[in-house]
C-alpha cells in the first residue's frame, strides 16, 4: 500500500478521519500537483530538518484548510550533512598561526573536516581531487594568489569537482575595494582578517545553507585583558590583547595557549628570514615575511607588532632597504614586548 492509499484509508475511516497527516517527499520530489493528496495537511522533503518539521506540525495541528503546503529541500550541503555526510571545507592560507586559529574555530563550530593548503596552486589541485562544500581563500599567498586561484576554479574548462563551490575570500582589513575585486574574479563573499567568530559563523550559515552553532556554551564577556606600550605622550598601542583571541576561540583557554605557543615560537624564525631577505636585497622575500608576521600578529591580538610589520611590508614592496633596515629594530622590540606580555598573562606557556 503506497502513501496515497494509506491517506485514503485513514480518511475513509470514521474513527481516524480527524487525524492530521504530514506527507514525506523523497529527495528530488517537488510540491507540485502531482504529489499532492487530498487529506494531507503539509509536506516535508527528506531528510527532514528539525525546524521545518516543527513548522509543519504546528501548521497541521492548527487545522488550516490549505492543503498542499510544501517544505522544499534545503541546500545540497545541508541535505548531505543531514544524511550523515559531513561538510568538507578547504582552507587556503600560508600563515601557520592563521591556519591554526581558523582550523580551531571551524572545529569548534562543528566542522571537523577541514583541509589546509598553503597557496593557490595547491588549492586548485585540492579542488580537482575532492568535492568541497566551501573554500576559505586567503588573497595574498605565494606561488599563486587567491585571485588567480578563484579565476581558475571558475574557468569554463575547470577540472574541479565542484566549480560552483562557494569561495570566501580572506582579506587584510585595510585592503581598499577588496570586496569588489573578490566578486570580479568569481568569489562569493569575503571576510576580513583577523577573523571574528560572529562574522565567520554568519558567513558559513549563509553559504552552506544551514544553521551554524558554536559548540561552546555562552559565556559572559570577559574583562578586557590587554597590555599597552606607550608610543608617544599622546598615544598608546596594544602590545597583546588576550581577550580578542579568546573571544574568537569562544573562551577555550587550551586552544588559546596552543596557538600563542606556536605564535611566539614562529615569529623569531620569520624575522630572521626577513633579515636574510634584506641582506640579499630580496625584497619580495622581505615583503612576504613581513606580511606573514602582520597576519599572525593580527590574529594574536598584537596590534603594535602588526602595525610595524605592515610598515616593513610596504617598504619591502617598493624595495626601500633603508626604511626596512630602520624598522627592523622596532619590529624585534615589538615582538619582545609581545612575547613578554604573553608569558606574563599565561605563565608556564
Residue 219: inside a domain, yes or no?
no
What is the count of structural domains for the chain?
A: 3
Based on the fold, state whether residues 130 and 37 are members of the same structural domain.
Answer: no
Residue 215: inside a domain, yes or no?
no
**Would you place residue 218 in the very low, low, confident or very high pLDDT band (cuts 50, 70, 90)?**
very low
Based on the fold, state whether residues 241 and 341 are members of the same structural domain.
Answer: yes
Instruction: Give the range of the structural domain holding residue 289, as residue numbers without chain letter.
Output: 226-345
Give the pLDDT confidence of 251-299 residue by residue, as tens digits: 788 888 888 888 999 999 999 999 999 999 999 999 999 999 998 888 8
Based on the fold, state whether residues 231 and 340 are members of the same structural domain.
Answer: yes
Based on the fold, state whether residues 148 and 267 are members of the same structural domain.
Answer: no
Q: CB count, 10 Å around CB of 246? A: 18
Residue 220: inside a domain, yes or no?
no
Based on the fold, state whether residues 152 and 178 are members of the same structural domain.
Answer: yes
Give the pLDDT confidence of 105-145 residue by residue, as tens digits: 888 888 888 999 999 999 999 999 888 999 999 998 989 99
Give the pLDDT confidence of 141-182 residue by residue, as tens digits: 989 999 999 999 998 888 888 888 999 999 875 555 677 788
Based on the fold, state whether residues 146 and 244 are members of the same structural domain.
Answer: no
Based on the fold, state whether residues 29 and 64 are members of the same structural domain.
Answer: yes
Distances (CA, A) of 235 to 113, 304, 329, 339: 44, 12, 20, 21
Give the pLDDT confidence of 295-341 residue by residue, as tens digits: 888 888 888 899 999 999 999 999 999 999 999 999 999 999 999 98
- For β-strands 134-138 and 88-92, DSSP reports them as parallel
Please give the model's pTM, rounded to 2 decimal places.
0.62
Based on the fold, state whether residues 86 and 201 are members of the same structural domain.
Answer: yes
Domain boundary among 43, 73, 103: 73
Q: What is the model's pLDDT at position 210?
A: 62
Residue 221: inside a domain, yes or no?
no
Based on the fold, state whether residues 15 and 52 are members of the same structural domain.
Answer: yes
Residue 252: inside a domain, yes or no?
yes
Residue 329: inside a domain, yes or no?
yes
Q: What CATH number does residue 280 fall under?
A: 1.20.120.160
Domain boundary among 48, 73, 98: 73
Based on the fold, state whether residues 121 and 53 are members of the same structural domain.
Answer: no
Residue 213: inside a domain, yes or no?
no
In the structure grid, which three cell numbers stand for residue 13, read together?
475511516
CA distance 151 to 128: 14
**Would you place residue 29 in the very low, low, confident or very high pLDDT band (cuts 50, 70, 90)?**
low
Based on the fold, state whether residues 85 and 66 are members of the same structural domain.
Answer: no
Regarding predicted confidence, which is higher, 313 or 241? 313
Based on the fold, state whether residues 169 and 258 are members of the same structural domain.
Answer: no
Q: What is the model's pLDDT at position 63?
A: 58
Q: Are 255 and 109 in contact (CB under 8 A)?
A: no
Domain boundary among 73, 107, 131: 73
Q: What is the model's pLDDT at position 182?
A: 85
**Would you place residue 54 in the very low, low, confident or very high pLDDT band (cuts 50, 70, 90)?**
confident
Q: Is a pLDDT exceeding 50 seen at residue 215?
A: no
Amino acid at each position: 500500500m503506497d502513501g496515497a492509499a494509506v491517506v485514503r484509508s485513514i480518511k475513509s475511516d470514521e474513527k481516524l478521519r480527524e487525524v492530521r497527516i504530514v506527507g514525506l517527499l523523497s529527495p528530488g520530489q517537488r510540491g507540485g500537483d502531482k504529489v499532492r493528496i487530498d487529506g494531507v495537511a503539509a509536506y516535508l522533503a527528506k531528510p527532514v530538518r528539525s525546524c521545518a518539521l516543527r513548522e509543519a506540525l504546528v501548521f497541521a495541528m492548527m487545522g488550516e484548510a490549505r492543503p498542499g503546503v510544501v517544505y522544499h529541500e534545503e541546500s545540497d550541503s545541508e541535505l548531505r550533512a543531514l544524511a550523515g555526510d559531513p561538510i568538507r571545507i578547504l582552507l587556503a592560507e600560508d600563515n601557520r598561526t592563521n591556519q591554526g586559529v581558523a582550523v580551531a574555530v571551524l572545529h569548534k563550530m562543528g566542522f571537523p573536516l577541514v583541509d589546509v593548503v598553503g597557496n593557490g596552486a595547491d588549492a586548485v589541485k585540492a579542488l580537482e581531487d575532492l568535492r568541497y562544500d566551501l573554500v576559505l581563500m586567503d588573497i595574498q599567498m605565494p606561488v599563486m594568489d587567491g585571485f588567480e586561484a578563484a579565476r581558475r576554479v571558475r574557468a569554463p574548462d575547470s577540472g574541479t569537482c565542484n566549480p560552483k563551490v562557494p569561495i570566501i575570500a580572506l582579506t587584510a582589513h585595510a585592503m581598499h575595494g577588496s570586496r569588489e575585486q573578490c566578486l570580479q574574479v568569481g568569489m562569493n563573499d569575503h571576510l576580513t582578517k583577523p577573523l571574528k567568530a560572529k562574522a565567520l559563523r554568519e558567513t558559513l550559515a549563509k553559504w552552506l545553507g544551514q544553521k551554524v552553532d558554536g559548540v561552546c556554551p555562552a559565556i559572559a564577556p570577559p574583562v578586557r585583558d590587554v597590555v599597552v606600550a606607550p608610543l608617544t605622550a599622546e598615544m598608546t598601542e596594544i602590545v597583546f590583547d588576550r581577550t580578542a583571541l579568546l573571544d574568537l576561540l569562544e573562551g577555550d583557554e587550551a586552544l588559546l595557549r596552543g596557538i600563542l605557543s606556536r605564535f611566539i615560537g614562529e615569529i623569531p624564525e620569520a624575522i630572521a628570514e626577513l633579515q636574510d631577505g634584506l641582506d640579499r636585497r630580496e625584497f619580495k622575500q622581505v615583503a612576504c615575511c613581513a606580511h606573514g608576521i602582520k597576519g599572525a600578529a593580527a590574529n594574536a591580538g598584537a596590534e603594535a607588532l602588526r602595525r610595524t610589520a605592515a610598515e616593513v611590508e610596504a617598504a619591502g614592496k617598493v624595495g626601500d632597504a633603508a626604511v626596512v633596515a630602520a624598522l627592523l629594530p622596532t619590529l624585534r622590540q615589538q615582538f619582545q614586548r609581545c612575547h613578554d606580555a604573553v608569558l606574563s598573562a599565561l605563565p608556564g606557556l
